[in-house]
């Protein structure tokens, strides 16, 4: 696969992506700016056996996380049994007291999970982060694969690669599994959202209605879609791409202008399904991440198949001592930040910065985790016609339908900065297709 003719079409594919509006948006200094997500045609290739292993581990992890969410908003047995400290639940910015005692349809909280992994140079895969609220990114490899097939059909003629175009089918199956009767809609905040391209693309691919808050209304404890001619038609499931706090101004943030009044009340009565369920942020808090291997043992009675990155919680005195002694060898992460923000490497700080950070760490130990810096495998990218190595991660997508489903593809993101381990699009990274071999 080294001499893929596809590599000659890098510019063509990127031009087509630009023409189709495959962009993401970022706010900087309160100004919204759309930019292209650079695509690299050298694929990440994962052997079948290796992906089978990942698939088992990803299913195990997401099943345990769903059980944790059900427990934490009901009996809280894992807290009572001393496995997870109370402080890591109620102090989490993702914990929502409004979700107490509310169980989603079929007990599914995270219908679509984006699990970020890296592969170390030792060949071991490590999970870096769980994204259980509104994970994005599946649309990019979907459309890129299609454009690559169009640009270089010969490349794909004889290769045994899993077809990634079935993501829409998996997503539709996931939505249909919890539909209580009525339309399927994808709820977007609008075109100024960072992932608006994805919202519209997934709606097109799944046959769901793409709607904003003004097109939905609540009446008699049910949710309705307002058609173009003013009719009200029942909605059975909402794949919402709006953050929890903006979803319902009557139950959450009263200043929200993009939510639907009383949609959460309809959800609580079981009259509409919301994907993902509100309140999931308590399970993808970076502090809670530390406890996921313990959750797997606690809820499933199994050893974790996939490993966390070696992680320390300054909340514990023993871990705080270790972090202070090995500060220069660690990466520190603010548990409430995302998108590559709030990440600092100990060895890049000045003496004064280090002093200030340690003072903050001692003052707010629950706010941070520390991790060993994993030396992930470099993956080649094309730059000015030359192959050069760059750090890359993999966002795997796990969908919970009538059974857990792992998409045999994923979003491989890479850093365009040779000195950076941060691959997020908002930090200037690019993306690749992920080829899972079928034999």
SS3 sequence of 176-236: HHHCCCCEEEEECCCCCCCCHHHHHHHHHHHCCEEECHHHEEEECCEEEEECCCCCEEEEE
E strands in 241-321: 273-275, 307-308, 311-312
At 162 the pLDDT is 95
State how far the Cα of 46 lies from the Cα of 408, in Å rounded to an integer.
10
At 248 the pLDDT is 97
At 423 the pLDDT is 55
pTM: 0.93
Q: Which two tokens stand for residue 211?
A: 């709607």
Exposed/middle/buried for 327, CB within 10 Å: 0-12, 13-18, 19+? Answer: middle
Angle between helices 196-206 and 139-151 (to 10 degrees): 70
State how far the Cα of 174 lies from the Cα of 236, in Å rounded to an integer.
13
Helix, strand or coil for residue 115? strand
Ramachandran area for residue 395 (φ above 0: left; ψ -120 to 50: alpha; else beta): beta
What string of pLDDT tens digits covers the 439 residues of the chain?
555 788 888 888 988 888 887 866 665 566 656 677 889 999 999 999 999 999 999 999 999 999 999 999 999 999 999 999 998 899 898 999 999 999 999 999 999 999 999 999 999 999 999 999 999 999 999 999 999 999 888 888 888 999 999 999 999 999 999 999 999 999 999 988 878 889 999 999 999 999 999 999 999 999 999 999 999 999 999 999 999 999 999 999 999 999 999 999 999 999 999 999 999 999 999 899 999 999 999 999 999 999 999 999 999 999 999 999 999 999 999 987 776 678 899 999 999 999 999 999 999 999 999 999 888 888 999 888 889 999 899 999 999 999 999 999 999 999 876 665 555 555 557 899 999 999 8
Q: Looking at beta carbons, which pairs linking 72-79 to residues 24 or more positions away fall under 8 Å?
A: 72/282, 72/283, 73/99, 73/100, 73/101, 73/102, 73/103, 73/279, 74/101, 74/103, 78/295, 78/298, 78/299
**Pairing mode, if any, of strands 125-131 and 378-383?**
unpaired
Q: Is the dihedral of CA 141, 143, 145, 147 positive or negative?
A: negative
At 421 the pLDDT is 57
Could you tell me what percentage of the chain is helix, strand and coil, using 3-state DSSP and rounding each to the nearest 5?
A: 35, 25, 35
Laid out side by side, the sheet with 311-312 consists of 311-312, 368-372, 330-334, 343-345
At 35 the pLDDT is 73
Q: Looking at beta carbons, which pairs linking 359-366 to residues 24 or more positions away fall under 8 Å?
A: 361/314, 361/320, 361/323, 361/332, 362/320, 365/313, 365/314, 365/315, 365/320, 366/87, 366/88, 366/91, 366/287, 366/315, 366/335
């Amino acid at each position: 696969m080294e001499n893929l003719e596809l590599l000659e079409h890098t510019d063509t594919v990127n031009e087509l992506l630009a023409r189709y509006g495959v962009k993401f948006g970022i706010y900087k200094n309160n100004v919204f700016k759309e930019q292209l997500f650079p695509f690299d045609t050298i694929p990440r290739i994962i052997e079948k056996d290796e992906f089978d292993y990942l698939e088992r581990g990803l299913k195990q992890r997401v099943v345990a996380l769903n059980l944790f969410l059900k427990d934490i908003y009901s009996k809280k047995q894992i807290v009572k049994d001393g496995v997870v400290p109370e402080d890591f639940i109620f102090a989490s910015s993702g914990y929502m007291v409004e979700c107490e005692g509310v169980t989603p349809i079929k007990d599914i909280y995270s219908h679509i999970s984006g699990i970020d992994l890296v592969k170390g140079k030792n060949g071991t895969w490590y999970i870096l982060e769980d994204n259980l609220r509104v994970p994005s990114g599946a649309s990019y490899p979907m459309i890129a694969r299609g454009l690559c097939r169009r640009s270089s059909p010969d490349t794909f003629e004889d290769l045994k690669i899993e077809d990634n175009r079935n993501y829409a089918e998996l997503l539709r199956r996931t939505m249909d599994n919890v539909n209580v009767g009525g339309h399927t809609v994808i709820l977007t905040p609008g075109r100024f959202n960072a992932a608006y391209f994805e919202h519209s693309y997934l709606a097109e691919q799944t046959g769901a209605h793409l709607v904003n808050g003004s097109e939905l209304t609540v009446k008699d404890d049910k949710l309705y879609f307002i058609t173009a001619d003013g009719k009200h038609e029942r909605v059975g499931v909402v794949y919402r791409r709006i953050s929890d706090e903006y979803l319902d101004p009557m139950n959450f943030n009263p200043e929200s202008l993009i939510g639907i009044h009383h949609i959460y009340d309809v959800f609580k009565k079981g009259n509409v399904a919301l994907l993902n369920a509100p309140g999931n942020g308590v399970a993808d808090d970076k502090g809670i991440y530390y406890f996921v291997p313990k959750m797997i043992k606690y809820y499933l009675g199994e050893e974790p198949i996939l490993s966390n990155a070696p992680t320390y919680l300054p909340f514990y005195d023993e871990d705080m001592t270790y972090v202070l002694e090995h500060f220069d060898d660690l990466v520190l992460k603010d548990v409430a930040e995302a998108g590559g923000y709030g990440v600092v490497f100990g060895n890049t700080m000045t003496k004064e910065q280090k002093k200030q950070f340690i003072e903050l760490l001692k003052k707010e130990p629950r706010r941070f985790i520390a991790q060993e810096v994993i030396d992930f495998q470099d993956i080649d990218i094309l730059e000015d016609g030359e192959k050069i190595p760059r750090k890359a991660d993999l966002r795997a997508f796990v969908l919970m339908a009538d059974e857990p489903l792992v998409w045999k593809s994923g979003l491989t993101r890479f850093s365009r900065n040779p000195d950076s381990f941060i691959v997020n699009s908002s930090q200037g990274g690019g993306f690749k297709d992920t080829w899972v071999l079928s034999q």
